[in-house]
Amino acid sequence: MVRSFSLLTLMLVGIVLLGNSAWAGDKRNSERTALRRVQQQMQQLEQEKAALQQQVSGFEQEKSTLSSEKDALAKKVQSAESRVAAEGRKRRSMEQELKAAHKENQALQEQKAETEKRLLEMTTRQTDSARQLAVLQDEKKQTEANLGMREKQVAGCEDKNLKLYQYGRDLIRQCRDHSATDVILRLEPVTGIKRVEIENMLEEYRDKLDAQKLISAENRK
């Protein structure tokens, strides 16, 4: 715009100068020459004006493009800032989850160690119990063997006792036989044993034999 104003000023000055020279020289030639010059200058001004308008239009279009690019960049920056903020929140959330996982893992490790300790204690107790059980089973077997041997011994003793009882009863019956009693009575002057004493002695022996037989029967039960 400043350049156009300067050209217009020069054109006016030229017209004035040409006017002054026309009065001094050939007026018609001077007017034609001045008119051509003015026309040329006007064409030049029009061309410059069109070029300036085209340049301004280009500037306006470039400005619009730059403004659109600016808006697009602003949107991209805003989107990037939103992504960065979201990623920051996600990162903080993941850090919290990681800390929680570490704590949970530590708790699980402690629980695992406690469980392993209790399992070891239970295994030790089970081993001790199994060892004690084996000892008790051996003792039981030995006791059962001893009991069987004792039962055999008792049975043998009872059989012997029964036989002795039978021998004693037979002996008492034989002593009560009149012939045996008569022999003893004939020896009374020598032995001093009377019939009543013999009977009492035989009864006493019979009671003792019966008593021993009853004790043996109780043991069998």
Backbone angles phi, psi at 194, to 5 degrees: -100, 170
Closest CA relative to residue 215, chosen from 145, 139, 158, 137: 158
Given this model, what pLDDT does residue 9 score?
Answer: 57
Q: What does the alpha-carbon distance between residue 132 and residue 32 come to, in Å, rounded to a whole number?
A: 144
Q: What does the alpha-carbon distance between residue 206 and residue 176 come to, in Å, rounded to a whole number?
A: 12
Q: What does the alpha-carbon distance between residue 73 and residue 114 come to, in Å, rounded to a whole number?
A: 60
Given this model, what pLDDT does residue 218 score?
Answer: 47
How buried is 3 (Cβ within 10 angstroms: 0-12 exposed, 13-18 middle, 19+ buried)?
A: exposed
Say whether 193 sits in a helix, a strand or coil: coil
Q: What does the alpha-carbon distance between residue 35 and residue 18 come to, in Å, rounded to a whole number?
A: 10
pTM of the model: 0.35
Query: 51 with 3: CB under 8 angstroms?
Result: no
pLDDT tens across the length of the chain (221 residues): 444 445 555 555 555 555 554 445 556 777 778 788 878 888 888 888 888 888 888 888 888 888 888 888 889 889 889 988 998 899 899 999 989 988 898 998 999 899 999 989 989 988 988 899 889 888 888 888 888 888 888 777 777 777 776 776 766 666 665 555 555 555 454 444 555 666 676 677 677 767 766 554 445 45
Domain ranges across the chain: 2-83, 153-220
Given this model, what pLDDT does residue 159 score?
Answer: 76
| Residue 61 identity (one-letter amino acid) | Q
